[in-house]
Structure 1
Amino acid sequence: MTALAGGPGSWSENILQYFLRRNQIAAEDGAEVTWYHAANHKAQLREALSSPALMIEADVLLASDGSGHGQPVMAHPPETSSDNSLQEWLAEVTKSSKGIKLDFKSLAAVAPSMALLKGVEERLQRPVWINADVLPGPNADRRAVEARPFIDTVTSFFPDVTLSLGWTTGWHAEKANEGYSWPMVRQMEHLCRELQQPVSFPVRVALVRQSCPELRWLLEKSDRYSLTVWTGKDDNYSVEDLLYIRDCFDKSKVFYDLLEPQNHEFKQAIGIKVDA
C-alpha cells in the first residue's frame, strides 16, 4: 500500500506541493526547484540563505575531539572540522523558509544530529530531507553508510521525514563507467518497499542516461519515489544528457541539483527562468 504525502508543512509533504502552495514555483516540475549545494561553512550558508535557492544541501559529520564524542559539524570529507556546527547551522536556517537536505557520510553523526534537529522541529515547517548513500553502486570508491541502522535511527526520531537514499558511486574520465544495474535497483527497492514516507534516490547524472530502464522500473514501484540528479565537479556530461533524462521520466519525479554552467544551460533549454 502506498502512503499519501503528508499535510502542509509536514516533513513528508510533497516538496512540489509545498513550493507551489507558497507560489515559489509555477508548475509541478522538479526542474523548477533550485538548490544550493554544500552550504557548510558560515560564509557558504550566508550566501545560500540570501540566494534564490529553494533547497539548501549541506554535509554533517562528527568533529573529532579525540574521545569519539565530537559534536556534529558542517563539513564534507576530506575535511574533518568546520567553522559551523550543526546547532549553529540550524539556528540560522530556521530564520528562513528554505527547505533543507542534510547529507551524512557516517552513521556516528546521525543520532546526535537527529537530537539537535528534534530541538528545532516546530520551527521547521518546510521540506526536510535526510540523505545517505546506503548501498554500493556503480564504480563505487568508498563504503556505504549501513542502510538499516541509518533508516532505523532517522525514523526513530522522525517517522515521516523524507528520506534521500543513494548508492556510493565513482566516475572516471579515462575509462568506461558502469551505470545503475538491475541488481542495484532491485536491492534498493527491497530496502524501501516497507517504508511509508517519500524517498528520493540521488543518482549521478553522468551514469543515468545508460540506466533509464532500471531507474524507471524503480520509480514505477511507488508514487512516493523520486530521483535527485546530482553531479561531481569533474564529471563529464552534456545538456543533451539532461534533456534525455528529462524525457525518460515524469517531470514531477526528478529533481536537478546541478553545478554551473550546466544548470543554467539546462534551465534555458527547457524554458525555465534562472534567477541571477
Structure 2
Amino acid sequence: MTATAGGPGSWSENILEYFLRNNLITTEDGAEIIWYHAANHKAQLNEALKSTAHMIEADVLLPSDGSEYSQPIMAHPPETNSDNTLQEWLTAVIKSNKGIKLDFKSLAAVEPSMMLLESVKRHLKRPVWINADILPGPNGNSRVVDAKPFIDMVTSFFPDVTFSLGWTTGWHPEKVNEGYSWTMVKEMEYICKELKQPVTFPVRAALVRQSCSQLLWLLKKSNRYSLTIWTGKNDNYSIEDLLCIRDHFDKKQVFYDILEPQNHEFKQAIGVKVNL
C-alpha cells in the first residue's frame, strides 16, 4: 500500500503539512515540531496549551476502581488516578490549534475513548495520533496491547486517524543494550503493510543507533511510515546518537519527542531554533 496522508484538516494529515499550512513551522523538517510530553494532569495540560508546543502527548487509562461506568482518565502507570478525565482534556484541547497524541496502555480504555473522540470530531480539524505498544521490543517486559483488536477498534470509529505503533522496551545502564532486531521490524511491517493510514513508529533514542539498518529498511517499505524518537528519563545516550539518525534518515520522516537538556543541545547542533 502506498496511500499517503489525509487531506487538510483530517486526522491523518501529515503534521508537517498541517503546521506549515498554519505558518507554525518554516520547513518540512520533523525536528521543527515541538512536543509536550505527558500533559495528563490539569496543571500540565494548561502549561502545554500555553506553550509553543505543536503536539501534545497524553496517556489514557480507565481508573483503578474498575467500575463498569468508569470514564477514561489521563494518567501514566504506575499512577491510576487523575484530576483530569479524557472528556475534560478534550474540551480544553479543542480550543487550541495543537495536534494531539493519545497513548493507550490497555485495550479496555480504547472503545470509551473513541466514543468521546467521536463526540468532538467536528471540532478537531487537526492531526490526531493514537498510540499503543503492540509488540515486545528490546528488553521489553511491559504487557503489549493486542494489535488486531486495537487497530480494528480505532479504525471502526476513525478510518482517517494516524497510528503510532511501537514496541515495549527497556534500557539498562549496566549492560550492553541491543537495538530493534530484524524479527521485530519485520513483525511490525507485517502488521502495518495492510493498513491505509499513516503510521509512525515510536523508537527509543538510546536503542536507535544500533538499529539503523533495521529502521531504514522499515521506513523504506512505505511513504506512510515515519519514526518518532523518544527518551526514557534515565536513559544514557549522546547527541551524536541523534545526529547519526539525522544523517541517515529523511528529515521529513523523523520526529523528536525528547527530554531536556538533550533536546536543546540537539536542536542547537542542527540549527533549529528553540522557542522556550
TM-score by length of 1: 0.99
Q: Which amino acid aligns with 2:41?
A: H
Equivalent residue, structure 2, for 1:48: 48
Equivalent residue, structure 1, for 2:139: 139
- Over 4 Å off, 4+ runs: none
Q: Which amino acid aligns with 1:274?
A: V
Name the Cα RMSD after superposition. Answer: 0.8
Change (3 A) 1:25 1:176: same
In the alignment, the residues of structure 2 paired with residue 230 and residue 257 of structure 1 have an alpha-carbon distance, to the nearest angstrom, of 5
Equivalent residue, structure 2, for 1:111: 111
Equivalent residue, structure 2, for 1:34: 34
Q: Identify unmatched segments of 5+ residues in structure 1.
A: none
SS across alignment from 1:120: helix
Following TM superposition, by how much is the alpha carbon of 1:65 offset from its aligned partner in structure 2, in angstroms? 2.7
The answer (yes or no) to whether the contact 1:200–1:226 under 8 Å persists in 2 is yes
In the alignment, the residues of structure 1 paired with residue 157 and residue 66 of structure 2 have an alpha-carbon distance, to the nearest angstrom, of 27
Following TM superposition, by how much is the alpha carbon of 1:69 offset from its aligned partner in structure 2, in angstroms? 4.0
Following TM superposition, by how much is the alpha carbon of 1:160 offset from its aligned partner in structure 2, in angstroms? 1.3
In the alignment, the residues of structure 2 paired with residue 114 and residue 82 of structure 1 have an alpha-carbon distance, to the nearest angstrom, of 19
SS across alignment from 1:112: helix
SS across alignment from 1:57: strand
| Residues 1:243 and 2:254 aligned together | no
In the alignment, the residues of structure 2 paired with residue 64 and residue 240 of structure 1 have an alpha-carbon distance, to the nearest angstrom, of 41
SS across alignment from 2:131: strand
| Residues 1:190 and 2:202 aligned together | no
Following TM superposition, by how much is the alpha carbon of 1:64 offset from its aligned partner in structure 2, in angstroms? 2.5
Fraction of identical pairs, as percent: 76
| Residues 1:210 and 2:201 aligned together | no
CA deviation map 1:205-251 (0-9, x unaligned): 00000000000000000000000000000000011110011111000
Equivalent residue, structure 2, for 1:25: 25
The answer (yes or no) to whether the contact 1:64–1:70 under 8 Å persists in 2 is no
In the alignment, the residues of structure 1 paired with residue 4 and residue 55 of structure 2 have an alpha-carbon distance, to the nearest angstrom, of 22
In the alignment, the residues of structure 2 paired with residue 240 and residue 52 of structure 1 have an alpha-carbon distance, to the nearest angstrom, of 26
Equivalent residue, structure 2, for 1:10: 10
CA deviation map 1:51-105 (0-9, x unaligned): 0000000000001334354210000000000000000000000000000000000
SS across alignment from 2:228: strand
The answer (yes or no) to whether the contact 1:33–1:55 under 8 Å persists in 2 is yes
Q: Which amino acid aligns with 2:16?
A: L
Equivalent residue, structure 1, for 2:272: 272
In the alignment, the residues of structure 1 paired with residue 93 and residue 16 of structure 2 have an alpha-carbon distance, to the nearest angstrom, of 20
Q: Which amino acid aligns with 1:232?
A: G
Equivalent residue, structure 2, for 1:167: 167
In the alignment, the residues of structure 1 paired with residue 274 and residue 268 of structure 2 have an alpha-carbon distance, to the nearest angstrom, of 8
In the alignment, the residues of structure 2 paired with residue 16 and residue 133 of structure 1 have an alpha-carbon distance, to the nearest angstrom, of 24
Equivalent residue, structure 1, for 2:85: 85
Equivalent residue, structure 2, for 1:221: 221
Aligned length: 276
CA deviation map 1:24-64 (0-9, x unaligned): 11110000000000000000000000000000000000013
Q: Which amino acid aligns with 1:146?
A: D
In the alignment, the residues of structure 2 paired with residue 158 and residue 52 of structure 1 have an alpha-carbon distance, to the nearest angstrom, of 28
SS across alignment from 2:135: strand
In the alignment, the residues of structure 1 paired with residue 77 and residue 4 of structure 2 have an alpha-carbon distance, to the nearest angstrom, of 36
